[in-house]
Amino acid sequence: MTDAEGQGAPAPERIVRVRIGGRVHGVGYRAWTQDQAKARGVKGWVRNRRDGDVEAVLAGSAAAVDALCALLWRGPRAARVTRVEASPAGPEDLDGSGGGFRQIATV
């Protein structure tokens, strides 16, 4: 599906907000997530949270988003993931990702 004028990128099939818990700060988790997302063509963002979690919004094909959500349980070598919670999100949650995948400020 494209915008009303027939221009622009197709709308993503799936958009989810994910919270990841465990040892996910200070281990390269955000950079790893960004690399994994870019490799799969997933758009969105990732950030640290002050409560110790990592949060991300992922947008793309259902297959790519599902594959990345499954990988989030693994994380980089030094991470110890204990929780991955995904919930539906909308285009407004992409927070101006600019069509790519980026790290944004901690909340």
What is the domain partition of the chain in residue ranges?
A: 14-103
67-101 pLDDT, tens digit each: 999 999 999 999 999 999 999 999 999 976 677 99
d(CA 59, CA 69): 11
Residues known to be catalytic? 30, 48
d(CA 21, CA 62): 23
CB atoms within 10 A of CB 28: 15
Tokens 């915008």 appear where? 3
Determine which of 4-13, 26-35, 85-94 has the lowest per-residue pLDDT on average. 4-13
Domain range 14-103, CATH class: alpha beta
Can you give 41-106 as a three-state secondary structure string? CCEEEEEECCCCCEEEEEEECHHHHHHHHHHCCCCCCCCEEEEEEEEECCHHHHCCCCCCEEECCC
Q: Strands 14-23 and 54-60, how do they pair?
A: antiparallel
Q: When comparing pLDDT for 53 and 6, which is higher? A: 53
